[in-house]
Each structure stands twice: as C-alpha cells, then as structure tokens.
Structure 1
Amino acid sequence: MDLEIELKKLASANAFFYVALDPERALGVEDILPNYAIICPYKSWLTEELKAKGISVFILEEEAGLMEAEKIAEKGSYGILQSGIVREYIQFRCAGSNPAHMNVRGWTPHIVVLKTSFLIEDFCKKQGWNLLAPKADLAEKYENKISQFNALKCIVPYPKSYTTTAREVYEKEISYPFVLQFNRGHSGNSTFFINSRADLEDVYKLYPKREVKISELIKGTPYTLNCLVLKNGKALTGSLSAQITGLDAATNNPNTTVGNDWVLPRKLDSKTADEIQSIAEKIGRELSGENYRGFFGIDVMAEESSGKIYFIELNTHQPASVSFEARIHRAMGKSPLLAYFLMDSGVAEVNAAVKDLPPFILPIRARQIIYRNKTERVINREEILEKYADKHFASRMTRIKPNEEIWREQMLEGI
C-alpha cells in the first residue's frame, strides 16, 4: 500500500483534528496527511518545529495568552474542545474558503483525542463532530480494573485473582506477597504490591470499603502491545515491546511504567510470541462484539520460572507509544496503526495487507524512556527550560506535578 496516496485520498473529503495536552501524541502521519491539524495548549520547541515543516498547529497560548491557555488546559482535552476559539478554528477550517489554511469546504470534522470520556463524547455529538474514539461507556467498562476482570476472566489467562473489599482482605488471613488494585487508576497509582501486613494496613486506611482486585504476584518480564479494532471487526497489532517499569532514574514509583524496549522481545520463542498475539486477538474479538472501535493496549507478563504468559490488564485509550511506533514503522516502509485508525474513519472498508502491517517482533533496535518528576513539588516551565532544554522531547507542559513526565528519550537504530 502506498500510504501517502491512501491518506491523500482520505483527506480529499475529511478533516482531522488531534486535540491533546501534549502534541507529541499526535505525531506519526502529520507530514503526509493533508487536512490534519494538531490542537494543543502551549507553544514549545516541538510546536515550532512542526510549524516550520508546514504542519497545521493551533496553540491556545498564542491565540489566547498563557493564563487563559492554562485555565482551559485544566480540564484536559474536554476543556480545549469547549474553548470558543477552538470551536471557531475547527469550523473555519471545515467551512471556510481561504486556501492558505487548506480548508476542506464543508466536511464533518473528525476529532481525535488520547482518551475519550462521557463529557467529550456528548460535546462532540452536540457540535455535530465525528469523535474517533470507542464509546465512552465501553472504554470505561474495559479500562477499570474490576469491571475489566469480570468481563475478560473467562477469555484470557489472568494470574489467580478474585474481587473483594479492602476491609475483607484486611480482616482475614492472607499469604504475602500479592497485588492489590482499586478499580480506577493511572500510571500505577491504584496498584499496590503488598509484601507485609504493614503494607496492607497503609492501603486499607486509604479506602477501607472500596472493592479491590487481589491477584497472585507473578515475577517475570512485562510486555506491552498496541492494538486496534477496525470497523470490520479485525484486530491489528503493533510491535511487541518489553515494558520498562519502576526504573530508578526515571521515577520514584516502582509501579509506574516509564518506557518501552522493542529489543528484548526478540528473545521470545515463536510459540510464546504467538500466544501473546492470540491474547490480543481474543480481546479484539470480544471488544468488537460490543461494537468497540479504536485503539487498545494490553500488558502481559512472562513468568520468570515457567515462561508462562499471564494477562495483566487492558487499556482502552491510545497507548503512549503509538506515535513513536508510527515513526518506527514508517521508517521500515510499513503502515502504522495510527494510519489504519484514521483511514478506518472513511466510508471504505480498510483492507490491511499482510505485507504492509507492522512486524510483531521489531527487527531493528528501538527504545523509549519517560523520565518523570521525582521531586515532591511542581516543576514550572522556567525550570524545565533551564535544566532540560537539551533533553530529547523535553516536556511541552508549563507545570509538571510529581511523577508526571519531564522529558522523553526516544532511540531508533539508524536515526
């Protein structure tokens, strides 16, 4: 497939707006997809680089000032979409006639966000915009730890697990160590490795009445895989990567994911790799059966002692490595998941030829590490510029809370 030709066909009757706090998430096809615009709150070295290349970037800070941009960004992508100047920009690009802005003259806007919500879904519907995301109720059902477990426990190989309340766990005899998870969380803040009674007591005090999932602690290597469910029900997969978690140089939280290593999966035998791919396909079929469309990511664990593969969790938003993977796959002459995701928004059915698909095991060396704020305070833009300006992908935000991303290191063989 000639990706550039196919994307130009798509753009002849469609306009795409990727709305994100971090413009890096929108990268991957921006240079070959006409009528693709990135909407973000703050200007940065990245936004300046994109504009210099002719990419359409709408920056709230430039249009409304820093204080207003920060106020809008407090509500995330939903707040950005709600902004009057953003609505005007989207309407202008889709209904205007100024050729300098590459307007597409009356076509419905397609809105892309990193993670959907009921508020975003409802707002886009009221505006008459086409939101390219799974339905919010399905995304929530399969994102939350306990409802996800209840839906998938008969389909995929979880470690020994059960649901109960924090109080019941605290009040009964239980063997250590184990993993305790609350229903909702992000970047490891709802997952706790319980090694002793003292650990359990600390967590119990947080929310004693809440439902929790208790799982056997599996020691081994975690892997992550980006996936996509198309309208035709087919599930596509990206390239398997080893999950880098709790790296001391990058975070203080041992449960926080800080990157991906695409080299380590080469050590897996073909049977194990096929098993992981089979898990992704099973989940894809399950999601498709409920009319789920869009990205999802899975985490699995290869047990150190036995090599057995255990399913750990499912994420129903665009995984953080999708944009980097898109650049990796395009460098290899393959069509990335991001391209298939956007093409699937068109009328024609996407037919993904095997020769164009990303390889399940990447044959070239690639790695990504996210270095997070390891202090207990908020880091502001001035400090970012002073200390991290020379870093690869220094943060595009103006304030970074503890354990949020400061800078991102991306390495690809030959580049």
Structure 2
Amino acid sequence: MEKLYDHLITHPLIYVARDAERALGFDLPVRGYYIITSGTSAHRKLAKQFPKNIFTVEAERNLDTHELLRHPQTKKYISDLKGAGIMVFKNTAMIEKTAKENHWKLLNPPARLVNRVEEKLEQVKWLREYADYLPPHEIAPLRNIMYEKKPFILQFNHAHSGQGTMLIKDRDTLDKLASAFPDREVRKTDYIAGPVFTSNNVILGEQALMGNLSYQITGLPPFTDLPFATIGNDFSLPHRLLTSTQLSQYKKMVTNIGHKLAGYGWKGLFGLDIAVSETTGRVHLIEINARQPASAIFESKLERDNKKRNVTGITCFEAHVAALMGIYIPNASLTPLSDGAQIVQRITKKRSAVADKVTEELGKLGLNIVTYENNAHNSELLRIQSKKYLMDDHEVLNNLGEKIKNLLD
C-alpha cells in the first residue's frame, strides 16, 4: 500500500470525528493524515502521543462531527492544510452544507445516497431486484399492521444500533404503538431466529471487496438493555458455524449489492448484516450500513497484526481511504482473519459509568480497553478488545467472555 501512503504525503487528508477511535485505522504516525476530534481526556492523551496527527477541539462539552466542523478551531486547522480532503464517519446533509459553505473537499459519498440505502422503508425500494434477500416483509401504516399470532420485527424508517427496531410478541404491544402512531409507515418483517453475521466490505473502483465475516454479538446483558443492540464482533465463530453453502450465499449478496452501490456512485466501506435461520439454514439480509461500520477500525487493527506476520492483503481501512481518495489498486484483496473479538459496554438504565477498578481488572486479562465519555442511553462506555475469540457458540460466551461479563455485571 505504498501507493496510498505516498499519495497522502502530497494530498493531505483530515478525518473529523467525535470519537477519535473511529479514525484510528492506521498505525500512527502517518505523514499527511490528520484527525480532528473532541477534547476529551482520552483524546488529549492521544494528541500528546501523536501531536503531528491529532488535534483536539476544546469546548465546554463533547461536540458532534457537524459541530466540530463548524468550530473556529477546526476551520483554522483546515485552512492551514490547504487543499486537504475531508472525511467523516457518516455523511449527513448538515455536514455537506458546512463543507460546501467553506469550500472544503468532502470525500464521503452523498448523504442522499446514504439515506436511500439505510432508511428502512426507502431501502426496500432501492434494493428492488434484490429485495427477496430480505425476509418476507411489508410496508404499511401502523394502523394496518396485523398481528398473526407469531412474533415479527417492526421498524420505523430510521433505526440503527438496535434502536427503532422492535420484536412484537403480542397484540397489546402492537395496539399501543398503532394507537400512538396510527398513520406512521413502518416495515413489518418476519422474525428470523438465529445467529447474525456481518462484514465490512469496500467498493474500491469497480471492485467489491468482501470483508472478513464476524459473528455479531447482539443484545446480551449486562452489556446492553436493548435486545437488538449490537455490542460486539467475533471473527472466529463464523468459521465454526457457517457452511460452505451459506458462505456462498452471503458472498453473492455482497457482490450483487456491492455492484449496485457502485452503480450509484458509492465508494469506500459498507456493512452487510445477515441472519441465518436456525430452522431452515437460509441466509437473510437484515441490514445495510451505508457508511464505515463501527467494527472496521478493530478489524483493520487485527489485519495489520496479520500483515506483520506476512499474511497478504490490505486492511479494510486502507481500502476505504484509497477508495475515497480515488486511488486505484488493481486485484486488491483484504487481509484474512480467523480470530479476534471485541465487546462493548453500552450505557443502560442501570449503568452510566464503569469504575476505574473494573477497567484495571479488564486490562489485567490482556485486553485492550477503549473508554468513552458519553451520556446518552445505548451509547458506548467501554470497548473491550481481544486478540482471541470471546464466543463459544451463538449467544454463548467462552471463559474469557464470562470473566468480562462478571466484572461488568
């Protein structure tokens, strides 16, 4: 990937992110790569370690990405790096407006395409010929949704990280929602009981690069109190749970949806989540993330470690940045993984902080700990990363996973 790193020297790139961890996809220091982030205590430590790469914006509170972009300190920093490209975790109309007003070169795909692909109702229309990848579904106003004596998934148009997604198990729950929002359109989808898997894929030029499959750890207490909240990834378990037929089905989905995205002008990372039916074994598409998935940075770290052991390929973050900067890499492939896992402690109704003593005990287990200064329900408190797997089976933690759980319980 010398081509990418040489390009950065003469074409500087600034990643603006509320959480600096989302931008730590390279082994710093890297010439020509810069991070602007909020001034938390953890970020200040990073900036002290890498003063040429990381700049913290000091304010009375943590600023979101669109607020960081509007801050005078950010504008001054960007103006000093003339011609620099700007990238963000997920593009929005507000971010695009700010970039346009300041004549900045925003590299992320358009926000309108992000919304079209991610929003639950519009997504069905966009998928069109591939809509049968989804489980059986319908779109209708809530008042017209019927309970047919079996559980189903109900989603409002905007739903991510398990919020806005509900498992309806009885008529009373549905009736209460329909009474509150009778005219709101929703997507009703058959509930697929079974494990969920995901991959961080990249559109690099005309290539749709399939990322490493990971088992998506979802809804386990005490890490979250939302049943569909994503709380981690295990890169070992797919190798033990999925058949060759299921892997082929998934690869076909990635290729077809990836080429469709490319046809709409997409470039860079996108995530694809599947559920595998525990009764039929069929693979169903359940989510498309039109952005850099949260697990991409950890995956890139594992891939960098493998590259140091002479495993071939590039990291998904390298491919993402190359795609956004328009750097062509023929016959590219991502570095394969067969192990490693991370799990996130989210803010719940019972937990809004983690004691330093608990963090220290987790560190003694040989784990990498990323801390966050958040306060909103379901946002991250701790990201706990392991070079080894944490799951023995679907919804079954291994011994190390249980130790983590017991420390946080």
- Output the TM-score relative to the length of structure 1: 0.85
Alignment of 1:224-303 (within 5 A): 224-230=198-204, 232-267=205-240, 268-303=242-277
Q: For the residues of structure 1 that align with 2:46 and 2:355, how far apart are their CA atoms?
A: 16
Q: Which amino acid aligns with 2:173?
A: D
Shift in alpha-carbon separation, 1:347–1:84, aligned structure 2, 3 A:
same
In the alignment, what sits opposite 2:396?
A: none
Is residue 2:120 matched to residue 1:132? no
Q: Is the 8 A contact 1:30 1:36 kept in 2?
A: no
Structure 1 gap segments, 5+ residues each:
95-105
In the alignment, what sits opposite 1:102?
A: none
| TM superposition shift of 1:346 | 3.9
1:324 alignment partner, one of 298, 302, 320: 298
In the alignment, what sits opposite 1:40?
A: 37
In the alignment, what sits opposite 1:24?
A: 21
Q: String of CA shifts for 1:376-404, please: whole Å, max 9, x gaps.
A: 68x4xxx557566535534332x412221
In the alignment, what sits opposite 1:11?
A: 8
SS of 1:314's equivalent in the other structure is strand
2:139 alignment partner, one of 147, 163, 173: 163
| TM superposition shift of 1:153 | 4.4
Shift in alpha-carbon separation, 1:153–1:215, aligned structure 2, 3 A:
farther
Q: For the residues of structure 2 that align with 1:389 and 1:173, how far apart are their CA atoms?
A: 45
| TM superposition shift of 1:166 | 0.5
Paired residues in the alignment total: 376
Q: Is the 8 A contact 1:31 1:55 kept in 2?
A: no
Is residue 2:161 matched to residue 1:187? yes
Q: Is the 8 A contact 2:29 2:53 kept in 1?
A: no
In the alignment, what sits opposite 1:337?
A: 316
Q: For the residues of structure 1 that align with 2:355 and 2:274, how far apart are their CA atoms?
A: 37
Shift in alpha-carbon separation, 1:404–1:353, aligned structure 2, 3 A:
closer
Alignment of 1:72-91 (within 5 A): 73=63, 76-91=64-79
SS of 1:154's equivalent in the other structure is helix
| TM superposition shift of 1:122 | 2.3
| TM superposition shift of 1:200 | 1.1
Alignment of 1:352-371 (within 5 A): 352-354=331-333, 357-359=334-336, 362-363=337-338, 365-371=339-345
In the alignment, what sits opposite 1:154?
A: 129
Q: For the residues of structure 2 that align with 1:29 and 1:338, how far apart are their CA atoms?
A: 8
Q: String of CA shifts for 1:160-210, please: whole Å, max 9, x gaps.
A: 1111111111xx453321111111122211111011112212332442211
In the alignment, what sits opposite 1:100?
A: none
Greater CA deviation, 266-275 or 236-245?
266-275
In the alignment, what sits opposite 2:280?
A: 306
SS of 1:190's equivalent in the other structure is strand
Structure 2 gap segments, 5+ residues each:
308-312, 363-367, 390-409
Q: String of CA shifts for 1:91-123, please: whole Å, max 9, x gaps.
A: 11x1xxxxxxxxxxx4x2111111100111122
Q: For the residues of structure 2 that align with 1:245 and 1:386, how far apart are their CA atoms?
A: 25
Shift in alpha-carbon separation, 1:126–1:53, aligned structure 2, 3 A:
closer
Q: For the residues of structure 2 that align with 1:7 and 1:173, how far apart are their CA atoms?
A: 53
Q: For the residues of structure 1 that align with 2:133 and 2:92, how far apart are their CA atoms?
A: 29
SS of 1:281's equivalent in the other structure is helix
Q: For the residues of structure 1 that align with 2:253 and 2:44, how far apart are their CA atoms?
A: 38
Q: Is the 8 A contact 2:14 2:33 kept in 1?
A: yes
| TM superposition shift of 1:33 | 2.9
Q: Which amino acid aligns with 1:250?
A: F
Q: String of CA shifts for 1:205-241, please: whole Å, max 9, x gaps.
A: 44221111111111111101111112x2221122100
Q: Which amino acid aligns with 1:358?
A: T
Q: Which amino acid aligns with 2:298?
A: F
Q: Which amino acid aligns with 1:323?
A: I
Q: For the residues of structure 1 that align with 2:233 and 2:202, how far apart are their CA atoms?
A: 18
Q: String of CA shifts for 1:273-326, please: whole Å, max 9, x gaps.
A: 122111011111111111122221111011111211011111112100011011
RMSD across aligned C-alpha pairs, in angstroms? 2.1
- Output the TM-score relative to the length of structure 2: 0.86
1:406 alignment partner, one of 365, 375, 381: 381
Q: For the residues of structure 2 that align with 1:221 and 1:327, how far apart are their CA atoms?
A: 25
Q: For the residues of structure 2 that align with 1:225 and 1:141, how far apart are their CA atoms?
A: 20
Q: String of CA shifts for 1:112-166, please: whole Å, max 9, x gaps.
A: 1111001111221332222121111111100101111122142151111111111
Shift in alpha-carbon separation, 1:191–1:151, aligned structure 2, 3 A:
same
Q: For the residues of structure 1 that align with 2:24 and 2:195, how far apart are their CA atoms?
A: 29
Q: Is the 8 A contact 2:372 2:380 kept in 1?
A: no
SS of 1:249's equivalent in the other structure is coil
SS of 1:312's equivalent in the other structure is strand
Alignment of 1:63-142 (within 5 A): 66-67=59-60, 69-70=61-62, 73=63, 76-92=64-80, 94=81, 106=82, 108-142=83-117
Shift in alpha-carbon separation, 1:53–1:117, aligned structure 2, 3 A:
closer
Q: Which amino acid aligns with 2:18?
A: L
Instruction: Among all aligned residue pairs of Structure 1 and Structure 2, give the percentage whose two residues are the same amino acid.
Output: 30
Q: For the residues of structure 2 that align with 1:32 and 1:236, how far apart are their CA atoms?
A: 27
Greater CA deviation, 150-159 or 284-293?
150-159
Q: For the residues of structure 2 that align with 1:30 and 1:131, how far apart are their CA atoms?
A: 23
SS of 2:121's equivalent in the other structure is helix
